[in-house]
Amino acid sequence: MFKKILIVAAALLTTACSLAPYENFDSKVVQGKQSMRLVSQVSQEEMVKEFVPSNSGSSAGAQFGLVGALVGSAVDASVNNSRAQEAEQMVEPFRNALLDLDVRSLVYNQLAENSARIDWVAEINPVMEQLESGKKPEEYVLGADEDLVLMVDTHYSLKPGTEVVEFVAAYALYDRDAVRNSGKSKSKPIYSNTATVQSYPHNGSIRRLTESEKEAERLALEERYPTGEDVGKNTRARNQKYKNKALSKLDKKTLSVPGYNPNGSVWLANDGALLRQEVQAAPSLLASMVIKDLIGEYPLPELAEGEKRKHAKVPQVLEELDDGMVITRQPNGMLLSKHRDAPVYTTFGNVF
Amino acid sequence: MLFVALSATAGCATKVSNTVIGEGPLPLLSADDGISAKSRECPATISVTDESVKSAPLTDIGNQVVRSLALEVLQGVGPEITEAQSESELQVVVKRAYVHKLASSKSAVVVLSVTNRVSAESTVYRGRSVGVNWWGTQREYLEGLKLAMQEALGPVAYQLQRICAA
C-alpha cells in the first residue's frame, strides 16, 4: 500500500510539472459536426454521506513488513467498516426525506433544457442512461448514432460534517469518429471538466468574517492600539506594529458558526424543508454551469498581446449571485459554486 | 500483532437494520393495534413488482433477480404469490434496490412499499446491510442485497405469519 502511495505521488508530481495551463473548450474543434447525444447519468439511487476513510493502519503497519502491512490493512478495513455503518445509519433520515424526489430526472431535465443553448451543433438528443458496470465511456461512444457524445456523470452527497449538500458533475465531450479512428485504449475526450455545487451552508461549521464584522474589528483594533499624537513615541510604534499584525490576519480570520450540529438536524426540520429545497435547486445551477462552460459564457481572463497563458494561482470569479453564492473557476479549470463566506467543504475538512 | 489483527476483524462484521417509514397504521397489524377487522384478515394473494433502477454495480443483474429475492422471503408465510399485481390483496413494490461502495465497505439498501388493497393503506419499509467489500464480486453484492431484502421484508413476513396462522 505504502509503495503504491509513493508511486502515485511521484506520478502526480511529474504530471503537475508537465501539465499545460487550463484552456477553455473551443467549439472550432467540433465544426461540421451535425448531431450530439447528451447522456445524463446519475449512478446512485439515493443520497450518500461521505466519511473520512482511514489509511493510517496500513501506512503505519508497512514499516513492519508484509505482515505488518496486512494487519494494518485489516485495521483500516475494520475502522472504515464502522465508519461506513455509522454514515449509512446517519444518512437514512435524509434519504427518507427525499424518498419522493427523482433526482435522476431533475438532473436530466435541467441538462436537457439548458442544452438547447448550445449552438455549435444542429441536433441534440438528450438521454438518461445508466452505463453498464465496467463499460468504458469510449465503448459507449462507439455505439452512438450521433457525431458527438457529451457524457455528464453526476453524483450528490452530504459532506462528512453535514455542512452542505454537494452536487458534482463530471462531463466529457467525445467525437465518435476520433474514438473510432484512434482505437479504444488511446481515445480521449475533446474536452472534459467538472462542475461542483456546494449548497448554502445551512449547517455551516466555520466562516470568514463579513465586511461589517471586519470593519468592527478594525475599529476595535484602533481603540485597543491607539496611534494618535497623544500617545508616546515608543508606545505608538509598538501599537502600530501590533495593529498591523492583527489587521493582516483579518482577511483569514474564521469564526465558528454557533448552532452547528454535526448530525445536520437543521436539514431535517420541517419535513426536510431545507434539504429538499437545496436538492431541488442544485441540478438547475449545475446544468447551467456545465452548459455555460461549453458555450463560452465563462471566458478565461484576456491576455495581453504576445502574452502566454500561465497556471492560474487564484480562482477566477465568474458569477456573483444575489444570495451570496459565487461561481468561480478554480486554477485547474474546474467550476465551483459556493457561498462567498463559507469554505470549500471537503472529505477531509474545509479549505478557504 | 495477532491480537491486533483479531480485534480488527471484529469490526468487519456486517450490520443489518430496518426502518418502517410513516406514522399511519401498518397494512397488517394485530387485533390489539386497533385496526379494522377486515384488514387483519390474512390476504389471499400477494404480488411483488420490482420498479427499482439497476445502477452500478448491479447493472448486469437480470430483471427477475430482485423480485426473486423478495419472493424467497415471502414464500410460505401465508398468502398465495400471484403475478397479477392489480388483483393481489397485498402489493409489494420494490422502489429501490442498490449497492454502493464506501471505501473498503459496501452498503446494500432495499426500499419497498407495501399496500393493502382492502384497507388502501400503504407503508414504506427500508432494509440495509453494511459490511466489508471483501472481493467486490457480483455474488457478494447480491448476498448484501439479499440481507437488505430480508431486513426490509422482515416485519411484513412476521405480520403475515401471525395473521395467517391465526
Q: Could you report the per-residue pLDDT of A113-127, keeping only the tens digit for each?
A: 999 999 999 999 999
Residue of chain A whose Cα is closest to the Cα of B15: A85
Whether the CB-CB separation of B34 and B24 falls below 8 Å is answered with: no
**pLDDT above 90 as % of chain B:** 46
Domain residue spans of chain A: 2-47+98-205+257-341+344-348, 207-256
B111/A76 CB distance under 8 A? no
Give the count of beta carbons closer than 10 Å to the beta carbon of residue B53: 17
Q: What is the pLDDT of residue B8?
A: 55
CATH superfamily of B16-27+38-165: Lipoprotein like domain (3.30.160.150)
Backbone angles phi, psi at B65, to 5 degrees: -65, -50
Q: Give A65→chain B minimum CA distance, Å.
A: 12
Query: pLDDT confidence of A294, banded at 50, 70, 90?
Result: very high
Q: What is the pLDDT of residue B141?
A: 95
Closest to B133 (Cα-Cα) out of A61, A92, A87, A84: A84
d(CA A294, CA A287): 11
**pLDDT above 70 as % of chain A:** 91
Contacts of B132 in chain A (CB under 8 A): 77, 81
d(CA A37, CA A142): 12
Q: Give B164→chain A minimum CA distance, Å.
A: 30
Mean pLDDT throughout A46-64?
A: 79
Q: What is the pLDDT of residue B29?
A: 55
Mean pLDDT (chain B) is 83
Whether the CB-CB separation of B67 and B112 falls below 8 Å is answered with: no
Backbone angles phi, psi at B6, to 5 degrees: -65, -40
- Chain A residues with CB under 8 Å of a chain B CB are 43-46, 48, 51, 53-54, 57, 64, 67-68, 70-71, 74-85, 87-89, 92, 95-96, 99, 104, 130-133
Q: What angle do CA A115, A166, B125 make, to 5 degrees?
A: 100
Q: Could you report the per-residue pLDDT of A232-258, keeping only the tens digit for each?
A: 989 999 999 999 999 999 988 999 999
Query: pLDDT confidence of B27, banded at 50, 70, 90?
Result: low
Lowest-confidence segment of A59-73, A151-165, A183-197, A258-272 by average pLDDT? A59-73
d(CA B13, CA B140): 14
Q: Could you report the per-residue pLDDT of A145-193, keeping only the tens digit for each?
A: 999 999 999 999 999 999 999 999 999 999 999 999 886 556 789 999 9
Backbone angles phi, psi at A329, to 5 degrees: -105, 125
d(CA A295, CA A50): 33
Of A43, A53, A131, the CB nearest to B103: A53
Q: What is the pLDDT of residue A122?
A: 95
* Bond before A283 cis per omega within 30 degrees: no
Please report the DSSP string for A23-58 in residue order.
----GGGGTT--EEEEEEEE--SS-EE------HHH
Closest to B57 (Cα-Cα) out of B94, B106, B99, B109: B99
Q: What is the pLDDT of residue A2?
A: 38
Give the C-alpha distances (Å, rounded to integers) separating A307 from A234, A302, A304. Answer: 49, 10, 5
User: Which position has the higher pLDDT, B33 or B85?
Assistant: B85
Q: Could you report the per-residue pLDDT of B135-162, keeping only the tens digit for each?
A: 889 999 999 999 999 999 998 998 888 8
Q: Could you report the per-residue pLDDT of A201-220, keeping only the tens digit for each?
A: 999 999 988 889 999 999 99
Query: pLDDT confidence of A5, banded at 50, 70, 90?
Result: very low
Q: What is the pLDDT of residue B119?
A: 79
Tell me: pLDDT of A107 over 90.
yes
Of B5, B17, B109, the CB nearest to A46: B109
Q: What is the pLDDT of residue B142?
A: 95
Closest to A80 (Cα-Cα) out of A60, A52, A59, A58: A52
Domain residue spans of chain B: 16-27+38-165
A179-188 contact pairs (CB < 8 A, 24+) = A179/A138, A179/A141, A179/A142, A180/A142, A184/A136, A184/A138, A184/A139, A184/A142, A187/A138, A187/A141
The burial class, CB within 10 Å (0-12 / 13-18 / 19+), for A278 is buried
B12/A51 CB distance under 8 A? no
d(CA A175, CA A177): 6
Query: pLDDT confidence of B118, banded at 50, 70, 90?
Result: confident
d(CA B115, CA B119): 8
Specify which of A1-10, A11-20, B39-48, B52-61 reaches the highest per-range mean pLDDT.
B52-61
Give the C-alpha distances (Å, rounded to integers) separating B49 from A46, B42, B63, B114, B157. Answer: 20, 20, 11, 10, 16
Give the neighbor-by-neighbor strand order of the sheet with B80-82: B15-21, B121-132, B105-116, B90-102, B45-50, B80-82
The DSSP bridge partners found for residue B112 are B94, B125
* Complex ipTM: 0.86
Tell me: pLDDT of A47 over 70.
yes
Mean pLDDT (chain A) is 89
Give the count of beta carbons closer than 10 Å to the beta carbon of residue B7: 12
A306 φ/ψ sector (left φ>0, alpha ψ -120 to 50, else beta): left
Tell me: pLDDT of B4 over 80.
no
Contacts of B131 in chain A (CB under 8 A): 81
Mean pLDDT throughout B70-79?
A: 92
C-alpha cell, A14: 511529474
Lowest-confidence segment of A10-24, A292-306, B80-94, B95-109 by average pLDDT? A10-24
d(CA A93, CA A113): 31
Of B4, B19, B59, the CB nearest to A71: B4
Residue of chain B whose Cα is closest to the Cα of A104: B53
Closest to A35 (Cα-Cα) out of A96, A122, A132, A164: A122
Lowest-confidence segment of A336-345, B9-18, B20-29, B86-95 by average pLDDT? B20-29
| Residue positions counted in chain A | 352
